[in-house]
Structure 1
């Protein structure tokens, strides 16, 4: 009889356990290391926070009375979007501010665009505008709308929509439903 000796102690189960532990370690590194380094890497998470904060601020008191949030005052909206409004409307932002960033209190490093759209005539949602002659809100394609009075503020967002964060709020404007959109990139 010959004795059989083997110098190999590894079995199939040992191999499977080792491979499983290795794969779990790799999955952990891939899942958690990027989030640990995120404060040092560029990203869009802060854009999401800014867009949401600005949209909530606008509908919660800047363009409406604090006691009636989501009910946008037409003259404050016109003043916010740089339309000429008779007198000095009582609005919750600095009407003398030259940029949309100054009006909402956001750093100039943030690229910000704010628009207000609605369906005033029943033919689809369009950009709204301030009619200087009639002193009222109309759709941008109306005859009394001057391009300078369109309800849009800030630079034009890039066409690459994957880099733009959008926050929107449905509001009441002059008794009708409108859509406020804040874009940050």
Structure 2
């Protein structure tokens, strides 16, 4: 049984009488807050990844200084000061002649007990021992410097304040710098 209602509006409208329905496709809709938050989140993650990864790509492939090299530089500085100390009882006073005789040659592997191959073709530990003034200049690079040539590489260093026996080169004192790389 079908009953038609006739009171009020007529339910049977023609196509021209119906209201037009507006539909928005997914491409035409507005950006929601969730869309914006997800987009910004992905963008920030991408930027953070680039800033954390890019320095490792640009940085040259050299190793930094670690604790072992720092300890080795400190041990060598103590050894040099102990071996060259004079018997006058003055702390950290070294003999310039002894320094020149023992530490001015370019290969200090045997003198300092460093690792090297038997044929001395390969040196595993590079070291430079230099007596400098407090302004950073070497006192006399021909006699008061030894080991490998140091050219501002990344190196561990240890320094001791020393004086030279019977010498006016270090007035009042100099710095014994040991660099290991």
TM-score by length of 1: 0.50
Q: Is the contact made by 2:94 and 2:162 (CA closer than 8 Å) also made in structure 1?
A: no
Larger C-alpha radius of gyration, 1 or 2? 2
Change (3 A) 1:59 1:114: closer
Q: Please, which runs of 5 or more residues in structure 2 have no aligned partner?
A: 1-19, 84-90, 116-122, 166-171
Match of residue 42, structure 2, among 5, 15, 21: 21
Number of aligned residues: 137
2:94 to 71, 74, 98: 74
In 2, the alpha carbon distance for the partners of 1:12 and 1:82 equals 78
Partner Cα separation in structure 1 for residue 65 and residue 107 of structure 2: 21
Give 3-state SS (helix, strand or coil) of 1:31's partner: helix
Q: Secondary structure at the match of 1:21?
A: helix
Q: SS state of the match for residue 181, structure 1?
A: strand
Structure-2 change in CA distance of 1:58 and 1:167 (3 Å):
same
Structure 2 residue 35 is matched with structure 1 residue 11:
no
Q: Which has the higher strand share?
A: 1
CA distance in 2 between counterparts of 1:62 and 1:10 reads 76
1:101-141 superposed Cα distances (whole Å, 9 cap, x missing partner): 3433443233322101237xxxx77544xxxxxxxxxxx49
Correspondence for 2:131? 116
Cα RMSD of the aligned pairs, angstroms, is 4.3
Distance in 1 (CA, whole Å) between partners of 2:42 and 2:112 is 51
C-alpha distance in structure 1 between counterparts of 2:127 and 2:64, whole Å: 15
Alpha-carbon deviation of 1:154?
1.1
Distance 1:106 1:32, change over 3 A: farther
Q: Aligned partners of 2:93 and 2:160: how far apart in 1?
A: 14
Is contact 2:158-2:177 (8 Å) kept?
yes
Partner of 2:145: 152
Distance 1:174 1:60 in 2: 16
Query: 1:123-171 deviations in whole A, cap 9, x for unaligned?
Result: x77544xxxxxxxxxxx49xxxxx4xx121113234xx3x343625241
Distance change >3 Å, CA 103–CA 29, structure 1 → 2: farther
> What TM-score do you get using the length of structure 2 for normalisation?
0.50
103, 112, 117: which one pairs with 1:104?
A: 112
Q: Provide closer, same or farther for how the CA distance between residues 153 and 17 of structure 1 changes in structure 2, counting only shifts above 3 A.
A: same
